[in-house]
Chain A
Amino acid sequence: MSAQDRVNLEQSTVLLIDDNPQALDMLSSVFQGFGVKEQIKCASATAAVRIIQHRAVDLIVIDCADPEMDSYAFARWLRRETPAPIRFTPVMLLTGHASQSKVQEGRDCGVSFVVTKPLTPAVLLRRILWLAGDEREFVESANYVGPDRRVRNFGPPLGIPGRREGDLSTHVGAAVEANMDQSDIDMLLKPQRVAL
């Protein structure tokens, strides 16, 4: 990302959820600076659920430790209980410190990113730009619903059959050589006279 690259959030609606009012105001200021079209602020995940049930948003940023519904529970609800395309909405989960019990939940709840503090506007912006170009597939299985957690797809481990249509077999594997030139490909296809 260079300083001269462009960011266009002028058509985007962002849902900001934070149970700390001061932190919510700061997040709001940051997104105001990013130039988003609209931001909806929620002081709890349960309030955010009511909003999502009535309207779509383009990005969700959440930092919520409310025992009634925390960030992880909200993400699981969004991914499993809402219809498409709402369930595909990118979610960034912000956290200061993730307790031992929450680390695995963070991996399994289906968020697009877990962003740990300290965070700066530059860090948030980089993550948003990454999301804009995110080509990960959306996975739905009994144990997990959310963006593919394999940011780099090297296929299934050796000796284990793939579970997805796009998984390469262990015999083929990932490409190890550079792609052929178009001229080389043309040469392969070009009909040639063969002297018999």
Chain B
Amino acid sequence: MTEARTLKIKTSLARQMAQPGGRTVAEVERRANERLDRHRDDVMITVAGTITELELVASAAAPGSEPQVYKLASSLLDMAGFFDTGPLYDAGYSLCEVADRMAVSGAWNWPSVQVHVRAMRMILTGGCQADATSDALLMGLRSVAAKART
């Protein structure tokens, strides 16, 4: 068992934030949301482009291209994760989970990838709305993910 040394510290951030002044939480949130929202259209274009890339990789199903799936799905989450993309984010997360588990186990299954990518395209086309269709799609993806876990 190693000896642990503990230190009481006060960070410069804590000292600065304890100073009087600043803005209210409501105002700061409003300003940040406004600025973030200016990126929304560009991000959705990027997300659509990433899904197109995933479609190409999934339909080619080329040996050696498996790591591309996780990389692309992960990059989609990085972008979509800044906005409320609801079911699209969930489908992307499920693809990351499935790709990661299949890569670790060595049992890669392209149809599992393809069904995810098709679902993501449908959700994107539907405006990323959570509705009966997206619920049904996500339920199907959950079954695929559960299979990848076993």
Chain A interface size band reads 35 or more
CB atoms of B17 and A8 under 8 A apart = yes
CB-based contact B32/A29 at 8 Å = yes
Between A and B, 26 residue pairs with Cβ closer than 8 Å are A5-B24, A8-B16, A10-B22, A12-B12, A20-B75, A20-B78, A22-B42, A23-B79, A23-B82, A29-B32, A33-B31, A33-B34, A34-B32, A58-B12, A119-B82, A121-B32, A122-B29, A125-B28, A128-B13, A129-B25, A138-B6, A139-B5, A139-B6, A140-B7, A141-B2, A163-B4
Say yes or no: B28 contacts A58, CB within 8 Å.
no
Q: Is A2 an interface residue (CB 8 A)?
A: yes
A35 at the interface (CB under 8 A from B): yes
For B, the interface residue count at a CB cutoff of 8 angstroms equals 59
Over the window 63-86 of chain B, the binary record of Cβ atoms lying under 8 Å from chain A Cβ atoms (1 yes, 0 no) is 000000010011101111111110
Q: Which of B96-104, B115-123, B136-144 contacts A (4 or more CB under 8 A)?
A: B96-104
Are A22 and B46 in touch, CB under 8 angstroms?
yes
Q: A-B pairs with CB below 8 Å: how many?
A: 197
* Residues in B lying within 8 Å of A, measured CB to CB: 1-9, 11-14, 16-26, 28-36, 38-39, 42-43, 46, 70, 73-75, 77-85, 89, 92-93, 96-97, 100-101, 104
Name the contact of B1 in the complex, choosing from A29, A85, A137, A163 (C-beta under 8 A). A163
Contact of A8 among B22, B85, B92, B97 (CB under 8 A): B22
Residues of A within 8 A of B (CB): 1-12, 20, 22-23, 25-26, 29-35, 56, 58-59, 63, 65, 85, 88-90, 96-97, 99-101, 117-122, 124-125, 128-129, 131-134, 137-144, 148, 163-166
A60 to chain B, nearest CB (A): 10
